[in-house]
Amino acid sequence: MTSVFSRATVSSVATTIAGVATTGLRNLGATTCRVGPEIVPTAAAPELIAIYRLSARYVGIPSASTIVAQCWFAVDVGNAGTYPNVATLADGSSSIRPNWAPDFQFVWDVTTTGPSVVQSIPKEVARPPWKHKVIFYNAATTATANNNDTETILLESTVNDLGT
């Protein structure tokens, strides 16, 4: 029995966490978390792989080659409408974030305040097949900028492996 796996067409870039103040990444304090909105994968063919990028501007200059953001998936196991407590408690908090390893992170690759676009590590991220939220932790020692809603945004593009 032979199986052939191929990649579906990569989706367009979509906003995972917007850049608006209070609910997005605009003016997010150093070492502070933000929880994004609920993401509902397609039922028939859930998007299982994502490539994330962070478009960001900071108030101060993050050191080059340092981790500026870490992200976790808070999953609604079984689509029951229940998320781990950390998904609620972490929002806006500087003291609460998941106590497990991040699902992906970002390293600052330039020596300016930005805006700059950095790619997630790992490049391809395994994405939950059920409802989930992304918890974003600003690991930088400086806040994100408060200039406008388009400078600090978490974006994703999804893809599936297809088997025949």
Q: Are 149 and 56 in contact (CB under 8 A)?
A: no
- pLDDT band per the 50, 70, 90 thresholds, residue 2: low
Q: In the chain, where does DSSP find H-type helix?
A: 86-89
Q: Does some domain include residue 22?
A: no
Task: Note the pLDDT of residue 1.
Answer: 54
What does DSSP assign to residue 79? G
Q: Does some domain include residue 104?
A: yes
Kindly tell me if the per-residue pLDDT of 124 is higher than 90: yes
Task: Note the pLDDT of residue 146.
Answer: 84
Q: Please tell me the total count of domains within the chain.
A: 1
Report the candidate in 114, 101, 97 with the shortest Cα–Cα distance to residue 153: 114
Q: Does some domain include residue 45?
A: yes
Task: Note the pLDDT of residue 135.
Answer: 94
pTM of the model: 0.89
Q: Does some domain include residue 129?
A: yes
- Name the average pLDDT for the chain: 86
- pLDDT band per the 50, 70, 90 thresholds, residue 64: confident
% of the chain surpassing 90 pLDDT: 44
Q: Which domain holds residue 146?
A: 30-163
Q: At a CB cut-off of 8 Å and minimum separation 6, what does 63 contact?
A: 108
